[in-house]
Structure 1
Amino acid sequence: MASGFWHGLWRTKPVDAIVRESGHGEGGGLRRSMGLIQLTFFSVGATLGTGIFVVMGEATPLAGPAVVLAFLLSAVTALFSALSYAELAGTIPVSGSSYSYTYATMGELVAWVCGWCLLLEYGVSVSAVAVGWGQYLNDFLDKAFGFTIPEAWSQAPDKGGVLNLTAVLVVAAMTLVLLRGATESARVNTFMVFFKIVLLLFFCAVAFTGFQSGNLEPFLPLGVAGVSAAGAQVFFSYIGFDAASTAGEEAKNPRRDLPLAIVLSLAVVTALYVLVALASVGAMPWQDLDDDTEASLSAILSDVTGEAWPSLLLSAGAVVAITSVVLTVLYGQTRILFAMSRDGLIPSIFQRVAPKYSVPAANTIIVGVFVSVLAALVPLNHLTDATSIGTLFAFALVNASVIILRRTRPDLPRSFRAPLYPVTPVLGVFFCLYVMRGLRPVTWLVFGLWILGGLAVYLAYSRRHSRLRRGRELSDAR
């Protein structure tokens, strides 16, 4: 009996079964409507938020002008995991992303833990991002019209707010967009991502006119150790490149487009980050780039142009950047829940598809309400750190899954193969664990408690309702 219980925790779901079930839910299936551009912009939209504003202020004091190298170092670190995601997305093109990949390679318990980590990554991170939306909106309103929304309704409770209605507003608006279907969501996101890319390129073009080579000397004032420390800080601004993998069942040509979208999105984000970092430290002494990096970037634009309107545009870009992140991360959360529900690990309401728009409507509404409540009422400063460790853990599992699947199913058709195998996925695991090692003890404590809660839910509900377990019990009974 005990051996059967233990064996059941590690049962894997065949890749063929995962792919065969893709797109199907209660009430109908998801509609394949996204091309390469939309998929790439989904990943760019989830990655390219206000991180470039916030992270620059935190990382530059650690590395000086060499913060440019820190962004490149983090990009290389992220690239190993991106290549593993690209291989698995082309091999197992379904909505579950890393949850489905680990189900096929490491078994149900590990898949559940991975899915549980993704709930932390997506659900809490989008709440945290939404909380900051009110601050950036107020900054834009103040510069454009000279008024702001009262702090009681636009700030988190730990920053003097009572009820963060601005966070509720942006989550509700993006939930309504998602309910209109994947095509409409992709169209809105493509517009927002295009806007913020153009805006960051505009910033670079203006800042480079004020470039002074003397600001880059000495280039390594704090040594290689400073670059390494800044790289660990910067890495978290790359989280989100995997968003396209959650659209595996709504891509027109998933085996070709998903790997390309993941790699292209990382390339686009890296190029923008490096350009913005180089333009910033070239136009302003690195010692003057403080924690309020948006104010510093605005100051660069004002100093170079002598006008106030470029700073207003930058504030508008920050608002759009957050809105795009909220949309894409909400989307990813609903699709992962859809896949978990289809496997029976969470209630079936999360896989019910509304025929009119081919979206999991109830799932989307539940996620929208949950995120809105979390963003409106709960201080998220500690939980946001935990999203990073959950993400890195999922990345490590994906890298390991590539190795396992290459050994157990070498016959599977792979539209993309991670180059330099097995070096690439092994380095991916190593770098994820290395960055996790540098996180604060309180982050590990929150993560441990979250995992324990997930195991309790699995043993109390998910294990008993697992479709894979029930299917095998019926097969044994016959």
Structure 2
Amino acid sequence: MMEATTPSQTSQPTLKKAINAIQLWSIAVGLVISGEYFGWNYGWQTSGTIGFLVSTLLVTVMYITFIFSYTELTTSIPHAGGAFAYARRAMGPWGGFIAGYATLVDFLLAPPAIAYALGSYTNFLNPAIPVVPTAMGMYVIFIAINWFGIKESAQFSLIVTILSVLELAVFMVVVAPYFKYENFVANNPEHITADGIFAGIPFALWFFVAIEGVAMVAEEVKNPHKTIPIGYITSILTLAILALGVMILSAGVGDWRRLISLDHPIPEALSMALGEKNALSKIFASLGLFGLIASFHCNTISYSRQIYALAREGYLPEFLSAVNKKYQTPHWALIAGGLIGFLAIFTGTTDKIIIMSGLGAVVMYAVSMVSLFVLRMREPALEKPFKAPLYPWFPIIALALSLVCMIAIIYYNPEITLLFVGIFLLLLPIFLWQKKRKKW
């Protein structure tokens, strides 16, 4: 059985332990909170508001059961590789390769979608500001911020995440009086079908996708056995309340069809409720940048740690595991992920990037739940500071719903699935060569 290398097994500079419980909550919520600001509204196009509500409830159950189960893995094996480390320990190099690839797709493609939305929000505020250059500029700024240390990055994340949560809370309070049930149910398909519900799943995932990135800062958490469960559980409850509140209220303030293809649905929903010329919609668009910034920043942390962990174990070129001696951050991993993000931004297809990221996520979720079952059987003595509640039912539900979501994405998005599989096959010879060379 293969075990992932721990920081103590290497003489290289290691990541710095600096994150406390509230900072971890802010990173977890920050990773995801942009999903409350944009992306989910594409689901109305495929499912209508009622069908998409069912999609969202299904996905919410999956994430709650998954996070409670995943926390057991994260606290038992606090490793920057997250799912990659758990799968490798449970199923050897092949398990690590599959989980590592899926996680990379998840976290490398979420930031360009967020960066493009940042450009769109900025363009909404001032049409003279172009979308793509703004999106690329975000990468430069936040790679620089993350370069200078995890403590500083976590403090920045805490500030912008709190501002983002407060803004969404204020949004819900402001639009709630304008909510009308007849608006919410208007213009829906005559019959709510399984076909429509499944088609909305990739966009419902966007409400929560990337929360699992908390695992990738596990090596930088103070007292991880206590801090990680607090961070995970409080964050998933925060996000579930915000996701359902924002989505339901936005659909009921007017003709929700106006929002289905926008990267700035929140200020548009406000203008529908308060009037086109109301200054509050512009103010919220300005403040909405905080939510996107929080997610972009936290996803930058996560993709860099995943690249770093894979490189440290030999799955990616070794230089990507280098840690800056002064700031103790994986600088080459930050830059490499940024270059991939630049390429994705130029596609200009936010909805497809979201779907591809979601596919990587659900593959990783399924592999993680299998890893949990395998480790329970093979290593019963493994220390478990946090145990999955209602075992085995929570991980069984999470695994089953992950597979449902995976099948739905594959069925409705065959071209994106082929691209996902094609990239995997391109990387396969590199993995096989490394496996032979290192005698895994």
3-state secondary structure, aligned to 1:114: helix
Contact 2:28–2:235 (Cα < 8 Å) also in 1 = yes
Structure 1 gaps, min length 5: 1-10, 143-147, 155-163, 471-478
Aligned residues: 434
**Residue from 204, 209, 231 that aligns with 2:172:** 204
- The change in CA–CA distance for 1:23 and 1:33 in structure 2 (over 3 A counts) is farther
Q: Distance in 1 between matches of 2:310 and 2:191?
A: 47
Aligned to 1:414: 384
Residue 302 (structure 1) shift = 5.7
2:424 alignment partner in structure 1: 451
**CA gap 1:140/1:270 in 2 versus in 1, 3 angstroms:** same
**Cα shift readout 1:407-428 (whole Å, capped 9, x = no counterpart):** 1111112111112212222222
Tell which deviates more after alignment, 358-367 or 328-337.
358-367
Match of 2:160 among 192, 196, 199: 192
Q: 2:348, 2:256 → 1: CA distance?
A: 31
Distance verdict in 2 for CA 1:57–1:313, change over 3 Å:
farther
Give, in angstroms, the shift of residue 227 of structure 1.
Answer: 5.0
Distance between the aligned counterparts of 1:373 and 1:60, measured in 2?
Answer: 28
**Shift of residue 437, structure 1, vs aligned partner:** 1.1
1:5 counterpart residue number:
none
1:48 alignment partner AA:
I
Distance, in Å, in 2 between the alignment partners of 1:300 and 1:224 is: 30
Distance 2:81 2:437 in 1: 18
Greater C-alpha radius of gyration: 1
Quote the residue 2:394 is aligned against: 424
The question of 1:102 aligning with 2:98 is answered no
Q: Is the 8 A contact 2:84 2:96 kept in 1?
A: yes
Deviation, structure 1 residue 266: 1.5
Query: What TM-score, normalized by structure 2, do the two folds share?
Result: 0.89
| C-alpha contact (below 8 Å) 1:90/1:259 kept by paired residues | yes
Secondary structure of 2:41 counterpart: helix
Residue identity opposite 1:193 in structure 2: T
Asked if residue 139 in structure 1 is aligned to residue 130 in structure 2, the reply is no
The one-letter amino acid paired with 1:116 is Y
| Worse-matched range after superposition: 314-323 or 38-47 | 314-323
- Identify the match of residue 406 of structure 2 among 414, 431, 436: 436
8 Å contact from structure 1 (residues 87, 418) kept in 2: yes
How far apart, in 2, do the equivalents of 1:379 and 1:298 lie?
Answer: 21
Do the aligned residues in 1 keep the contact of 2:267 with 2:285 (CA within 8 Å)? Answer: no
2:134 equivalent in structure 1: 166
Tell whether the 8 Å contact from 1:30 to 1:249 is kept in structure 2 after alignment: yes
Compute the displacement of 1:48 (Å).
1.3
Q: Work out whether residues 86 and 260 of structure 1, in 8 Å CA contact, stay in contact via their aligned partners in 2.
A: no
Question: Cα deviations across residues 165-194 of structure 1 (Å, max 9, x unaligned)?
Answer: 222210010001101100111111111111
Could you tell me which of 285, 297, 302 is aligned with 1:332? Answer: 302
Secondary structure in 2 matching 1:84: helix
Match of 2:143 among 171, 175, 179: 175
- Offset at residue 109 of structure 1 (A): 1.7
Distance 1:269 1:459 in 2: 40
Report the CA distance between 1:102 and its aligned residue. 0.4
Inter-partner Cα distance in structure 2 for 1:64 and 1:373: 33
SS state at 2:78 partner: coil
Matched residue type, 1:149 = I
Kindly provide the amino acid, as one letter, of the partner of residue 170 in structure 1: M
Find the counterpart in structure 2 of residue 40 from structure 1: 25
Match of 1:249 among 219, 231, 236: 219
Which of the numbers 342, 351, 354 marks the counterpart of 1:373? 342
In structure 2, what is the equivalent of residue 463 of structure 1? 435
| Distance in 2 of aligned mates of 1:88 and 1:296 | 36
Q: 1:452 to 1:51 in 2, by over 3 A?
A: farther
Q: Distance in 1 between matches of 2:184 and 2:116?
A: 35
Superposition deviation, residue 307 in structure 1: 5.8
Check whether the contact 2:41–2:203 (CA below 8 A) recurs between aligned residues: no
Taking only the aligned residue pairs, the percentage that are identical comes to 22
Task: State the distance in 2 between where 1:44 and 1:291 align.
Answer: 24
Residues 93 and 245 in structure 1, CA contact (< 8 A), matched pair in contact too: yes
Structure-2 residue corresponding to 1:476? none
Decide whether the 8 Å contact of 1:26 with 1:352 is kept in 2: no
For residues 337 and 287 of structure 1, what CA distance do their matches in structure 2 show?
A: 39
Matched position secondary structure for 2:252: helix
Match of 2:129 in 1: 149
Give ranges in structure 2 of 5+ residues lacking alignment: none
CA contact (8 A) 2:202 2:355 kept: no
Inter-partner Cα distance in structure 2 for 1:52 and 1:70: 18
Partner residue, 2:115: 130
Q: Is the CA contact (8 Å cut-off) linking 2:75 and 2:224 kept in structure 1?
A: yes
> Are residues 60 and 415 of structure 1, via their aligned partners in 2, closer, same or farther at CA, if it must alter by over 3 Å?
farther
Give the letter for the 2:424 counterpart: I
CA displacement 1:221-254 (0-9 Å, x = unmatched): 6436455654554123311111111011000011
Match of 2:2 in 1: 12
Residues 1:214 and 1:344: Cα distance change in structure 2 (over 3 Å): closer
Bigger shift: residues 298-307 or 311-320:
298-307
Distance 1:286 1:185 in 2: 37
SS across alignment from 2:357? helix
CA contact (8 A) 2:21 2:227 kept: yes
Structure 2 Cα separation of the partners of residues 197 and 233 of structure 1: 20
Q: How many Å apart are 1:125 and its aligned residue? A: 2.7
- Asked whether the 8 Å contact 1:341–1:348 carries over to 2, the reply is yes
What is the alpha-carbon distance in structure 2 between the residues aligned to residue 266 and residue 296 of structure 1? 21
SS in structure 1 of the partner of residue 34 of structure 2: coil
3-state SS of paired residue (2:63) = helix
Which residue of structure 2 lines up, in the alignment, with residue 159 of structure 1?
Answer: none
Moved more, 396-405 or 256-265: 256-265
